Amino acid sequence: MEKTEKIPLKKILLICSKASIEDVYAALVMGNGAVMEGIETKLFFTFFGLDAITKKTMNKLHTATTGNPGMRMPGGLPFPTMLGGLPGVEAGVSAMMRKQMDALDIPPVDEFLELITAGGGEIYACKLAMDMFKLTKEDLHDEVKAVITVGDLYEMCDGPGTQIVFT
Amino acid sequence: MSIKTIAGVDINVNDEGYMEDASQWTKEIAKEIAKEEGVELSDKHFEVIEFVRGKVAAGEGLTIRGIGKSGVVNAKEFYALFPGAPLKKATKISGVPKPTSCI
């Protein structure tokens, strides 16, 4: 039988390009989980994902209440799309979601970033998206290590046992 | 389940080396397990171990966030004390089950 060598995951790069609670937290939970396992971890935020590392927006993320077939009323009833479009509904639902996450000991975004960097994880912002949204490094949370190009990102992907995940 | 002799005592451990009976734990056993994990235990380590064992005894879940807010150590210090996979290492050395937390 052919002998296959298993290469454990040594390094992971997580790319987050969206600003919804579920997309950002998918990246944060996976990133923090990797740090907890002793895996070298880098998170790269681009496009709307920049909201997650921008001081002004990071702790006020929303989830979409329209165009989201997974959305339910409390109790599990379907959530009418028309209702989701009413003013304030998305903000209210999002606030409720953040509150429920807090109850499960899931930290707010800024604290989550601090937890990741405390364990040696690194946070990066995409230069091109920063230019597009007219953001500067000062707009970003202090835990962001650098604003980098896509070339810089690929340079970080060296070595066996490295994976890139796009959320 | 298997039996492993640690610090001269027969201990019940699972496949991953976690102790199955927290009451069998002693400081000597902790030092032995720590050595296997590449950690030299200091007084600060034992403060964390005490906190971890207390939390588990109280039936509460363990997270790095919780340990970082314990007042014993912050998250960064916790990572420094148990390098690599701190929650796994700290629980193993503390003689408590492997945590099931994702955060």
Say if residue B54's pLDDT is above 90.
yes
Domain residue limits at A75: 60-106
Quick one: which of B44, B59, B71 has its CA closest to B100?
B59
> If residue A43 lies in a helix (H) or strand (E), which one and from where to where?
strand A40-45
Task: Indicate yes or no: CB of B103 within 8 angstroms of CB of A29.
Answer: yes
Q: Output the pLDDT for position B47.
A: 97
Say if residue B4's pLDDT is above 90.
no
Task: Indicate yes or no: CB of A120 within 8 angstroms of CB of B64.
Answer: no
Task: Give the integer Cα–Cα distance in Å for A118 and A27.
Answer: 17
Question: What is the domain partition of chain B in residue ranges?
Answer: 2-94
CB of B62 within 8 A of CB of B91? yes
Both A145 and A114 in one domain: the answer is yes
Final residue before a domain boundary, out of A106, A121, A141: A106
Contact residues on chain A for B89, CB-CB shorter than 8 A = none
Say if residue A1's pLDDT is above 70.
no
B102 part of the active site: yes
Catalytic one among B10, B40, B76, B102? B102
ipTM score: 0.90
Contact residues on chain B for A115, CB-CB shorter than 8 A = 64-65, 68, 75
Q: Does A38 touch chain B (CB under 8 A)?
A: yes
User: What percentage of chain A exceeds 90 in pLDDT?
Assistant: 84
